[in-house]
Amino acid sequence: MPLKKQLSPRKQPTQARSRATVSAILEGAAQVFCREGYAGGTTDKVAKRAGVSVGSLYQYFPNKDALLLALADRHAEEGFAMIHLLLSEFKAEMPRLEVFLRQFVQSLFDLHMREPELHRVLFNEAPLPSEFFEKKEAKEHEFSIGVSRLLAAHPEVSCKDPALAAHMLVQTVEGLVHGYIFFPPRAISPENFITETVFMLHQYLSRSAETLG
Amino acid sequence: MPLKKQLSPRKQPTQARSRATVSAILEGAAQVFCREGYAGGTTDKVAKRAGVSVGSLYQYFPNKDALLLALADRHAEEGFAMIHLLLSEFKAEMPRLEVFLRQFVQSLFDLHMREPELHRVLFNEAPLPSEFFEKKEAKEHEFSIGVSRLLAAHPEVSCKDPALAAHMLVQTVEGLVHGYIFFPPRAISPENFITETVFMLHQYLSRSAETLG
Amino acid sequence: MPLKKQLSPRKQPTQARSRATVSAILEGAAQVFCREGYAGGTTDKVAKRAGVSVGSLYQYFPNKDALLLALADRHAEEGFAMIHLLLSEFKAEMPRLEVFLRQFVQSLFDLHMREPELHRVLFNEAPLPSEFFEKKEAKEHEFSIGVSRLLAAHPEVSCKDPALAAHMLVQTVEGLVHGYIFFPPRAISPENFITETVFMLHQYLSRSAETLG
Amino acid sequence: MPLKKQLSPRKQPTQARSRATVSAILEGAAQVFCREGYAGGTTDKVAKRAGVSVGSLYQYFPNKDALLLALADRHAEEGFAMIHLLLSEFKAEMPRLEVFLRQFVQSLFDLHMREPELHRVLFNEAPLPSEFFEKKEAKEHEFSIGVSRLLAAHPEVSCKDPALAAHMLVQTVEGLVHGYIFFPPRAISPENFITETVFMLHQYLSRSAETLG
DNA sequence: AATGAATGAGTATTCATTCAT
DNA sequence: TATGAATGAATACTCATTCAT
């Protein structure tokens, strides 16, 4: 029963120099963990690749796993930002359902496509703390509420429980995209994959489906 | 660049005693990795819990990761068997689409519910070899073909590309179930989750949806 | 506030082979710490000198400090044994006070003379846990009781509080011997040192002194 | 065989400000080493507690051990000053032997009582250089000469070898006080301890004892 | 003179794996 | 076949010390 390790950054880099150091370290970490996987990615390698001494690394990150967490956080933040952007765009003016879905799926797809291997390491090898997932969950729940409002208000959409629908929407996209990224099926092009996903969700949400519920 | 490690079992246990030893080891491994995660699960602990010496463990498994692989394989085999069963049942007589989907989703759900924590370790921490996933992919592809035949033949189903639809079906269920298992959303009961998943897939596949495609 | 480290031996060596390993390690430790001091005495060096792998060392000793503790314990045990022997000898037949004192001082002196440098490391550099000193204290107290009985019964001795006298006796000898060992004053031969110590204690304890108390 | 490290202070603080810095550092060092022991007392902690940057610390002390040495020196100087005072007092007018002894013992006792834990660290953990002890020895020898003169001249004292007697006197007090400080025996009050020590030494030195030598 | 970010050599420790018994 | 003592390469991490600012 090991006490939970400290994973949060050690000190906030305030001066310009330290900020540079920190981002060099993160960049190095991303590259090293990409190439070498979780186990093979040693802190020494990370420091070396970042052009920084191990000591500096540990000045800002209390241990190896904190590096992974920071990377995962960075990724999550990007995702959140993207969704946030989408949501606020659509709050102003909701486009046709299909357009909305396509944009949503495409954005998440692009996000994951950027560094698929880092992704694999982050989510299939790294022992990310449950706190990370809880935070992610919470954030996703928050977005779900936003999405459910959009769905509830959308003329093309019909569903009994918009909150549930929103949750399914988010989860489905995440699940499918993850699956596609990690093992891209040769037979299905990204375009087809996205189109089909959008189609499925459209069917799920659209009014014409109502009669079947 | 580490040479690819040997991961397949060292010798097939033929005698009754060895078979017992092997399954004791696997059982011990399952328990230990559950409790301690990938990194914390040492071969010593596994052997101890299995009531066996480390030496014996290495007699049957060439290294630590082979244990994880065996566990993952065991899980996958169960899944395959389950799907195989379903498919052969339905080949004889195809029930209503909804019934088919419900059974499919429920079975996968149950399978994952059995040892969720082991699951997490297996698929989020363990460095399973890509071979494992390739094999899994291949098997899934194989099943997809079976499923696509069913879909193509089913009167309630309408889709342009049954193979694609089958693939989406499998991936969607896997993705959603994984998500649900790892972070069960408090607000959604298993029943509702399954029902909604079935609903979504039904909408996706059913003839009445055709007009929208 | 670090949690107190585990210092007790990891497993009792039961088989003959392991017993040999353990004593080789202790012997190596004694030599290495002698030569190199506490900080300079690395576990690697100890293992190497013991002709054993580091892993084996850690099989029996949970960390570096446990090695020092074991060495200190060994030393203390020898001292205890010696005193115990002396006490039981004298319980049978008490010799003249001077003889008793001389023997006592000489024994402790010899004990410390055996490995003076190891001693220095043990008691001037090593962070021995307070438990060690408490145990030592307790043992010494126990002996003090034995000594005080002898004193109380001895015809040549006169003191109001034999327990106190016994304590002073033990402490004085220890203090003087330590001092002599660590910085042997060139001007004073061991013989003279011992004689003088005995003389002081004799004066302190003997009846003829009583009138002055 | 590490080259002997530089341990003497780097520069004599001449200005008022620097003097303040230096004493702040020493004070911080005393506190930190008290709380954390030798190994746990890092230069960073010392600097922080002194309200000074590490850089400044190293401006005045070439390395960690120099801090310890300075602390030990400070302590020793106080002791020397105390003894020196005593000696010059008594050179003017020698009081009764018992008074002299009591004062001597009490002074050393008080000196050690001031920061017992720092003491423990200094003399049981810190790797003080042998030079320190040699210097201490030398100084003590010097005092021994002074003491031996007093003893030789004192009417109550009778001893063949005043130099030896003086040495024993100093060593005994040091040894006993150290022992008492590090592990204060619950059963013996400081007053009793001092009284008994004085008594022992009195017996050792006084004329009436002569007949027994 | 002061600062504190950066350094990196140095070490304790682990744990997968082997092999003599 | 089973055992578990022995192995030792591999690594995370610390902390005394430096030096650019």
Which among A199, A209, A167 has a CA at the least distance from the CA of A101?
A199
Q: What is the pLDDT of residue D36?
A: 92
Nearest chain B CA: its distance from A127 CA (Å)? 6
Interface membership of C209 toward D (CB under 8 Å): yes
Give the domains, in start order, of chain B with CATH numbers.
16-60 (1.10.10.60), 72-212 (1.10.357.10)
Identity of the residue in C2, C183, C213 whose CB atom sits nearest the CB atom of D199: C213
Q: Is B143 left (phi over 0), alpha (psi -120 to 50) or beta?
A: alpha
Please, which residues have CB within 8 angstroms of residue C77's CB and are 6 or more apart in sequence?
none
Q: Is the CB of A49 under 7 A from strand F?
A: no
DSSP D208: G
Q: What is the pLDDT of residue D3?
A: 45
pLDDT one-digit tens code per residue, A87-141: 998 888 888 999 999 999 999 999 999 889 999 999 999 999 999 999 998 998 8
DSSP B156: T
Cα distance between residue B168 and residue B160, in whole Å: 13
Residue C212 has pLDDT above 60, yes or no: no
Residues 45-64/B with CB within 7 Å of nucleic chain F are 52-56, 58-59
Contact B175, A174 (CB under 8 A): yes
Q: What is the pLDDT of residue A13?
A: 63
Contact B131, B72 (CB under 8 A): no
Interface membership of B109 toward A (CB under 8 Å): no
How deeply is A117 buried, as exposed, middle or buried, from its count of CB atoms within 10 A (0-12, 13-18, 19+)?
middle
pLDDT one-digit tens code per residue, C27-76: 999 999 999 999 999 999 999 999 999 999 999 999 999 999 999 999 99
Q: What is the pLDDT of residue D12?
A: 66
Q: What is the pLDDT of residue B75?
A: 92
Identify any residues that bridge with B157 across adjacent strands, giving them in sequence order: B206
Helix (H, G, I), strand (E, B) or coil at D157: strand
The full DSSP string for D57-80 is HHHH-SSHHHHHHHHHHHHHHHHH
Residue B1 has pLDDT above 60, yes or no: no
The pair of structure tokens assigned to A155 is: 């003329």
Q: What is the pLDDT of residue A9?
A: 77
Identity of the residue in A174, A200, A208 whose CB atom sits nearest the CB atom of B168: A200
Best probe of the C interface among D35, D132, D172, D202, by most C CBs < 10 A, is: D172
Residue C211 has pLDDT above 50, yes or no: no
Residue A209 has pLDDT above 80, yes or no: no
Q: What is the pLDDT of residue A7?
A: 84
Interface membership of C1 toward D (CB under 8 Å): no
Residue B39 has pLDDT above 70, yes or no: yes
CB contact under 8 A, C164 and D40: no
Q: What does the longest C-alpha to C-alpha distance in chain B come to? A: 65
Q: What is the pLDDT of residue D208?
A: 61
Best probe of the B interface among A117, A197, A199, by most B CBs < 10 A, is: A199
How deeply is B94 buried, as exposed, middle or buried, from its count of CB atoms within 10 A (0-12, 13-18, 19+)?
middle
- For chain D, 213 residues long, give each residue's pLDDT as a single digit of tens: 344 567 777 766 667 778 899 999 999 999 999 999 999 999 999 999 999 999 999 999 999 999 999 999 999 999 999 989 988 988 888 889 999 999 999 999 999 998 899 999 999 999 999 999 999 989 988 888 999 999 999 999 988 899 999 999 999 999 999 999 988 888 899 999 999 999 999 999 987 654 443
Contact C174, D179 (CB under 8 A): yes
Identify any residues that bridge with B206 across adjacent strands, giving them in sequence order: B157
Contact A50, A12 (CB under 8 A): no
Interface membership of C190 toward D (CB under 8 Å): no
Residue C201 has pLDDT above 70, yes or no: yes
Interface membership of D119 toward C (CB under 8 Å): no
Percent of chain C with pLDDT over 70: 92
Cα distance between residue B158 and residue B162, in whole Å: 8
The mean of the pLDDT values for chain C is 89
Q: What is the pLDDT of residue C23?
A: 94
pLDDT one-digit tens code per residue, A51-91: 999 999 999 999 999 999 999 999 999 999 999 999 998 88
Q: What is the pLDDT of residue C60?
A: 94
More confident residue, B134 or C212: B134
Q: What is the pLDDT of residue C28?
A: 95
CB contact under 8 A, C211 and D208: yes
Cα distance between residue B124 and residue B37, in whole Å: 10
The pair of structure tokens assigned to B4 is: 């690819």
Best probe of the B interface among A35, A196, A197, A198, by most B CBs < 10 A, is: A196
pLDDT one-digit tens code per residue, C73-124: 999 999 999 999 999 988 888 889 999 999 999 999 999 998 899 999 999 9
Lowest-pLDDT choice from A159-163, B201-205, C4-8, D97-101: C4-8
Helix (H, G, I), strand (E, B) or coil at B199: helix
Q: What is the pLDDT of residue D183?
A: 85
**Which ranges in chain B belong to alpha helices (H)?**
16-40, 43-50, 54-60, 64-92, 97-113, 116-124, 130-153, 162-182, 190-205
- Distance in Å from E21's C1' to D62's CA comes to 56
Q: What is the pLDDT of residue D71?
A: 96
Please, which residues have CB within 8 angstroms of residue A93's CB and are 6 or more apart in sequence?
none
Residue B210 has pLDDT above 60, yes or no: no
Residue B64 has pLDDT above 60, yes or no: yes
DSSP D24: H
